[in-house]
Chains A and B, each alone.
Chain A
Amino acid sequence: MTDVPSVVDSRADRPARSWREFVTTSGIDTRLMGMLIALAVIWIGFDSMSHGKFITSRNLWNLSVQSVSIGVMATGMVLIIVSRNIDLSVGSLLGFLGYTMALIQTQGKISVLGLNLSISSLQRHQWYTWILALAVGLALGALVGLFQGVIVAYVGVPAFIVTLGGFLAWRGLIFRTGGTKGQTLSPLDTTFTYLGGAPERSLGNWKTWIVVLIVCLGIVSTILLARQRRVRHGLAIRSTAMDVGFAVGGCAATVLGVWLIAIKYRSPTTNKSVGLAYPVLILIVVTMVMTYLAKRRRFGRYVFAYGGNPEAAELGGINTRRTVTYTYVVMGMLCAISAAIQTARLNSATTNLGVQNELDVIAAAVIGGTSFSGGVGTIPGAVLGAVVMQSLRSGMSLLNIDSPSQDIVVGVVLVTAVAVDALLRVRNRRGMLGALAGGVLVAAWVIQTGRP
């Protein structure tokens, strides 16, 4: 064997020569960057249209809380769409799970289709009631996901059909649960309601800073560990300046963002800093766990490989059916988390909980760069997609635009985002600019003419 020059790159410690080279060596996700810019444009646009009412701590804090439910589910939808499937049942499943969890808290029992399940430990108003409700919700969500996943992966019924069935069935089941004929269940366990994110039930000042500290330590150690691993294996590393830049930039953005949104927002009653809301904390944790699952676990690798080329995955000896099934199990559990957050926020469960959520979740994933042709999508992208959608809705609400008009705008943005993505992928710059301009103009026109 001849001696080949080491691939530990001499490039690493030279300053980046061009933007393109910078992007490739740094491993920045340009699509995510584009979305952040789009989000900034949306925020600034609404802020100027509403004369400075959009970029306020109070509004952004509410925005952060409102984005959570869809954001959490969108992280799971990414994996499902990446593996060339779809889940139309998430809204109905969310409703069913939320209703079941509320039953445990309000009546201390579950009964479905005449089957009663009243274990003596299902006591109301105990310190563990909220844990029990949450655990049952998660288990039930996983079970329903397993059921749907098995039908998709092993029986071979198309995912669209299976989850369309689920869409109808889980919603219908709400009315056959608890023997209550679908009455509203309220109030919920006090501790449970912390999951909903009211200003007076948030992390407060010092706990928020602890979270920030943990996140910053996480950022720094991730960068450091990745660098160490690459050095140990003799791989090319990014320049020290670049890594330090990422660490400092990431931490600064976290501190600044949290300060602007959560610390500056003071409770109107106590005048104390509200801090991060618990559901936002949940979304942060879910995003990190799901990113880890997608990027650094075999399961995630298999989901992407299967989405990219099902045949290759099969020939690679991957158990593709089990992989697909697990995507639905994960989705079911995420539905349970969102169900807890939504019911806790309302302090009640109603039969129309989660109606239309499946569409919002799919839209968030798609705006976030998930492709229906399979194999392409990111977890942070989907979360950002949820924030973009919620920003549009909340901005338009601020301008008193009615919800039918909001739907038009969200629809236009959805299609524009995908069109821009598709045109960029074939490097049609002019077409991309045209699509972008067209979409923005139509959206702006609908907003402008919809203002009272």
Chain B
Amino acid sequence: MPTISPASSERSADMTPLCELRDIRVAFGGLHAVDGVSIDLFPGEVVALVGGNGAGKSTLVHTLSGAHPADSGEIFINGERVVIHNPRDARLHGVEVIYQKLALADNIDAAANVFLGRELRTRTGSLDDEAMASATQKVMQRLNPRFRNLKTAVRSLSGGQRQSVAIARAVHFNARILIMDEPTAALGPAETSQVRDLITQLKAEGIGIFLISHDIHDVFDLADRISVMLQGRLVGTVNKVDVSKDEVLAMIIAGKQPGEVSKEEIADLHAPAQHTAE
């Protein structure tokens, strides 16, 4: 794997982004869930998407993953304009997703879930369950070495194990762009730190990651840049090293740019901030 320096500040201006979303709009009836948002992502970079509940974060990344195409706007991958109608299109461009509501079929086993929609087959066209099981076992050794329940239905797995299955899917297929929608929301401390290690590792391999998270500490630990959304609009994108947590909270809650907030406003933020950034 090529190791690309996580280059947020020292990146040269003419480097093409791995992925760019321009002026994306999505409306549900009269509700503008995403209203003219533009974000980009460079190789080996983690861009955190933050914002309160219902800010439009999931809806925005769904336009990239093909789960719900945009009403208007453009998507560029490696500088080329692409059209993504459905999850298959997204995968062809190397986009893999770990959905907020884990998109697993509960009644089938881990390997079947990892390969769902992209099954390995033998020459006769039969499912090659053994090849899939062995490939899954290999990825799992990297993600969650204690994972042994390859043959049981995913239903009977723990939250962390289910999460490993969802992540294994993205890792096995060599994602170039990885979308993680609250990947640690359902996890205990041990599993959470596992996922964080994994993010660091994938980043070192040159994969670009959109990370949606409500945990401001996670965001500051893992992200290179932070894009803040509020009510469907982009408040702004900032380099992590240029801002404080308080400034990001002010962006999330009040939609204020980092320069605009006064000391008193930050002091005011602290009580409600506990609730919003749970």
Question: Which residues from chain A sit less than 8 Å from chain B, CB to CB?
Answer: 1-2, 4, 7, 27, 226, 229-230, 232-235, 292, 295-298, 301, 304-309, 311-318, 375-376
Contact = CB atoms under 8 A, between A and B. Distances in A.
Q: Is the interface of A mostly helix, strand, loop or mixed?
A: helix
- Closest CB pairs A-B (n = 9): A308-B107, A316-B117, A233-B134, A375-B107, A308-B105, A316-B116, A317-B117, A317-B88, A312-B103
A235 B134 contact: yes
Given A233-B131, A305-B116, A27 B151 contact: yes
Contacts of A234: 134, 137
B273 interface: no
B86 A230 contact: no
B187 interface: no
A308 B125 contact: no
A313 B117 CA distance: 8
A3 to B, nearest CB: 9
Interface in B92-129: 97, 99, 101, 103-108, 112-113, 116-119, 121, 125-129
A305 B126 contact: no
A390 to B, nearest CB: 29
Given A233-B131, A233-B133, A376 B86 contact: no
B67 A315 contact: yes
Contacts of B65: 315
B148 interface: yes
B276 interface: no
B275 to A, nearest CB: 30
B116 A318 contact: yes
B121 A298 contact: yes
B32 interface: no
Nearest to B129: A296
Contacts of B133: 233, 235
Contact of A301 (B87, B104, B127, B134): B127
Contacts of B88: 317
A298 B108 CA distance: 13
Contacts of B107: 304-305, 307-309, 375-376
30 contacts: A1-B142, A4-B141, A7-B148, A229-B128, A230-B130, A232-B130, A233-B130, A233-B131, A233-B133, A234-B134, A295-B127, A296-B127, A297-B125, A297-B127, A298-B125, A298-B127, A301-B108, A301-B112, A305-B107, A306-B105, A309-B106, A312-B104, A312-B113, A315-B97, A316-B87, A316-B105, A317-B91, A318-B117, A375-B105, A375-B106
B99 to A, nearest CB: 7
Chain B binding surface SS class: loop
Nearest to B126: A296
B15 to A, nearest CB: 30
Interface centre among A27, A229, A232, A376 (most CB of B within 10 A): A229
A301 B91 CA distance: 20
Contacts, number: 94
Contact of A235 (B97, B104, B108, B130): B130
Contacts of A27: 151
A317 B118 contact: yes
A313 B107 CA distance: 12
Given A229-B130, A230-B130, A316-B87, 8 more contacts: A233-B130, A234-B134, A235-B130, A297-B127, A301-B116, A315-B87, A316-B103, A317-B87
Highest count of chain B CB atoms <10 Å: which of A229, A233, A234, A316: A316
A309 B103 contact: yes
Nearest to B152: A24
Question: Among A234, A292, A297, A305, which residue has the most Cβ atoms of chain B within 10 A?
Answer: A305
Interface in B129-156: 129-131, 133-134, 137, 141-142, 145, 148, 151
Contacts of A232: 130
Nearest to B101: A311
Nearest to B141: A4
Contacts of B103: 309, 311-312, 315-316
A234 B130 CA distance: 9
A226 B151 CA distance: 15
Interface string B238-270: 000000000000000000000000000000000
Given A7-B148, A235-B133, A317-B88, A312 B125 contact: no
A301 B106 contact: no
Contacts of B141: 1, 4
Nearest to A25: B151
Contacts of B116: 301, 305, 312-313, 316, 318
Contacts of A375: 105-107
A1 B151 CA distance: 24
Nearest to A298: B119
Interface centre among A232, A235, A314 (most CB of B within 10 A): A235
A232 to B, nearest CB: 7
A306 B119 CA distance: 15
A301 B137 contact: no
A14 B86 CA distance: 48
Contacts of A311: 101, 103
